[in-house]
Amino acid sequence: MQMSIIAKITGFFKKNPQNSEKDGQLKSHFYIGKFVKQDNTDIGESIGVEGKRIIIKNPENIMSIPIEAIIKNAENLIVGDFDREEATRLGKEWADQKDMLVFDDKGMLVK
């Protein structure tokens, strides 16, 4: 069975399925520890993955950007446009939650 040229082109530009797990979660090792650039400007370093968002740390703040904003994932992560205000807000929420310890009613660490 031959594929049409349109099907081949569409398949070529789809996101790489190897970058996600079967449950839709991202494989974090493909995204962590890379410098992140937007318009040839360094905007930080990727430090984590939460759901379908990449956590970016820079000297001013922490941002959580959607995976859809990533244009290229190679030696560096190249990102396009994203809502910087929302990314900063979600990054702050992530930073606040990661430092929070949760205990059950018996005093055992839950999270």
Distance CA 67, CA 26 (A): 9
Considering the domain delimited by 20-98, tell me its CATH architecture.
Roll (3.10)
pLDDT for res 1: 44
Look at the block and give the residue holding tokens 């968002």. Answer: 53
Of 23, 35, 28, 78, which is closest to residue 53 (Cα–Cα)? 28
Of 2-6, 40-44, 68-72, 94-98, the range with the lowest mean pLDDT is 2-6
| CA–CA gap between residue 43 and residue 106 (Å, rounded) | 43
pLDDT tier at 27, thresholds 50, 70, 90: confident
Domain ranges of the chain: 20-98
Looking at this protein, which amino acid is placed at residue 102? V
Q: Encode pLDDT of 8-19 as tens digits.
A: 565 555 544 444
**pLDDT on residue 6:** 62
